[in-house]
Amino acid sequence: MDNVADDFYRELPKVELHAHLNGSVSFQTMEKVMKRKPHLNIEHHMTAIGKGQRRSLDECFQVFKVIHQLVDTQEDILMVATDVIKEFAADGVKYLELRSTPREETKTGLNKKNYVETVIGAIQQCKEEGVDIDVRFLVAIDRRNGSEVAMETVKLAEDFMLSADGLVVGLDLSGDPTVGHGKDLLPALQRAKNGGLKLSLHLSEVASQLEESELLLGLPPDRIGHGTFLHPDVGGSQSLVDKVTKNNIPIELCLTSNIKGQTVPCYSQHHFKYWYQLGHPSVICTDDKGVFSTDLSQEYQLAAATFGLDQQAVWALSKQAIDCIFAPEALKQQLRQKWTELQPRVLK
């Protein structure tokens, strides 16, 4: 990690809604996985983007390929998932929605079903150990893999939604935004929605996807990942913005990820400003805290420093994120209670 955030941001209770499991693996955990597989000759600069460095979006997706080579057994998944959950908890995150794409690795016996079971096992293990964080899981569809795999993934997610004690709450659509078209995935996403899975979709992450965004917003999704190019100032359209605001669809905003992946030129031009000024539900998230060498406290601090938010405004921002979680109302109430209890200690 490049920096450490100030005490206020680390003590601030936080909600993390956009975290890809394999993108969230820390330097320390990566070290452990690399030691298990020295023959792969993978070094840290191949799995993380350090301070001041930028990569093209395409290069970012190459990084995920390297990480997937390293994290390819059930033991690996269990270790990275428990470490990631504990790290978020240590950073003051009280509620986490983790997302990951189920994978198959024939040579290690990893399959999509035991992949999801292992992540759920990690969540349960952390709970049993008393780690102070509530975690839910979103099953991810990699758009690169097309409509058939998307439909299989939805069926898998449906099974786990019914069998995993409420830990699986939704579906994510992610993967290289320049590959494939959302229209092919609509039937799978529609089925998921009808079956009660919540939808968080990466949308307009790159420019010129107006048609796809219109189509996907028609579902409508329950949350939007990035939404970088939705608004008219950056080539989006008022009609897209109206769809988002009319349906009050929260947006997950990941500042450092967008700067390091070069879809946004600098912090001050991040679209957080557009949505926050509209008064639209805007949730600060990390995306891939390992790959982008950050944590949620730093992302809050960066947003505050860049857009001039005082501590009251930062507190309101973190509390408002509770409204946007996919877990049921009872858990929202518990989290609001937690924020109320912590307020006198944190917001001095």
Neighbours of 329 (CB within 10 A): 8
Cβ neighbours for 341, distance < 8 A, ≥ 6 positions apart: none
Cα(9)–Cα(310) distance, integer angstroms: 12
Q: How far is the CB of 85 from ligand IMP (least distance, A)?
A: 13
Q: Which stretch binds ligand IMP (CB under 6 A): 17-25, 44-52, 295-303, 316-324?
A: 17-25
Can residue 172 be called a binding residue for Zn ion (CB under 5 A)? no
Can residue 271 be called a binding residue for ligand IMP (CB under 6 A)? no
Q: Which stretch binds Zn ion (CB under 5 A): 70-78, 105-113, 280-288, 339-347?
A: 280-288
Residue (of 186, 73, 72, 84) closest to 137 by Cα position = 84
Neighbours of 320 (CB within 10 A): 14
Query: Which position has the token pair 């009808």?
Result: 194
x-or-dash string of contact with ligand IMP, 81-110, rule CB under 6 A: -------------------xx---------
With CB cut-offs between 5 and 8 Å by kind, which of ligand IMP, Zn ion, none does residue 101 bind?
ligand IMP
Active site residue 205: yes
Can residue 287 be called a binding residue for Zn ion (CB under 5 A)? yes
Residue among 14, 33, 64, 154 that touches ligand IMP (CB under 6 A): 64
Q: Which stretch binds Zn ion (CB under 5 A): 51-59, 211-219, 266-274, 279-287?
A: 279-287
Can residue 294 be called a binding residue for ligand IMP (CB under 6 A)? no
Q: How far is the CB of 280 from Zn ion (least distance, A)?
A: 19
Cα(274)–Cα(234) distance, integer angstroms: 11
Residue (of 78, 151, 146, 73) closest to 105 by Cα position = 73
What single string gives the DSSP state of each residue in 15-41? EEEEEEGGGS--HHHHHHHHHH-GGG-
* CA-to-CA separations, 152 to 145, 187, 201, 273, 279, in angstroms, rounded: 11, 12, 17, 38, 38
Cα(267)–Cα(271) distance, integer angstroms: 9
10 versus 222: smaller Cβ distance to ligand IMP: 222
- Identify the active-site residue in 16, 97, 158, 205: 205
- Please check whether residue 219 is in contact with residue 249, taking contact to mean a CB–CB distance below 8 angstroms: no
Can residue 140 be called a binding residue for ligand IMP (CB under 6 A)? yes
Q: Cα 208 to the chain's mean position, in Å?
A: 23
Provide the 8-state DSSP code for 166: T
Can residue 22 be called a binding residue for ligand IMP (CB under 6 A)? yes
Residue closest to Zn ion when measured from CB atoms: 287
Count the site residues for Zn ion by CB under 5 A. 1
Q: How far is the CB of 178 from ligand IMP (least distance, A)?
A: 10
Q: Which stretch binds ligand IMP (CB under 6 A): 20-28, 83-91, 130-138, 190-198?
A: 20-28
101 versus 153: smaller Cβ distance to ligand IMP: 101
Encoding tokens for residue 165? 């004690």
Can residue 287 be called a binding residue for ligand IMP (CB under 6 A)? yes
Largest CA distance in the chain: 55
- Run of H or E including 171: strand 168-174
101 versus 213: smaller Cβ distance to ligand IMP: 101
C-alpha triplet 15, 16, 21: angle, nearest 5° = 155
Residue among 170, 175, 182, 290 that touches ligand IMP (CB under 6 A): 175
Catalytic residues, which ones?
205
Positions that interact with Zn ion (CB under 5 A): 287
Residues in the site for ligand IMP, rule: CB under 6 A?
20-23, 64, 100-101, 140, 142, 174-175, 202, 205, 257, 287-288
